[in-house]
Amino acid sequence: MKKIITYGTFDMLHYGHINLLQRARALGDYLIVALSTDEFNSVEKDKVTYFSYEKRKKLLEAIRYVDLVIPEQSWDQKIQDIKEFRIDTFVIGDDWKGKFDFLKEYCEVVYLERTPEISTTKIKRDLRI
Helix (H, G, I), strand (E, B) or coil at 80: helix
Under the criterion CB under 6 A, does residue 73 sit at the interface with ligand C2G? no
**With binding defined as CB under 6 A, does residue 101 bind ligand C2G?**
no
If binding is defined by CB under 6 A, does position 115 make contact with ligand C2G? yes
Nearer to ligand C2G, 38 or 45 (CB): 45
- Contacts of residues 79-85 at CB distance under 8 Å and 24 or more positions apart, as own/partner, are 79/103, 79/106, 81/5, 81/32, 81/34, 82/5, 82/106, 82/107, 85/3, 85/5, 85/32
Question: Residue ranges of the alpha helices (H) in the chain?
Answer: 15-25, 38-44, 53-61, 78-84, 120-127
Closest listed residue to residue 48, CA positions, set 15, 85, 11: 11
Interface residue with ligand C2G among 36, 37, 49, 89 (CB under 6 A) is: 36
Among 17, 32, 49, 82, binds ligand C2G (CB under 6 A): 17
Question: Is residue 53 part of the contact set for ligand C2G (CB under 6 A)?
Answer: no
Candidate ranges 57-65, 81-89, 101-109, 113-121; the one touching ligand C2G (CB under 6 A): 113-121
Q: Please say if 99 is a catalytic residue.
A: no
Positions that interact with ligand C2G (CB under 6 A): 7-10, 16-17, 20, 36, 45, 72, 92-93, 95, 114-115, 118-119
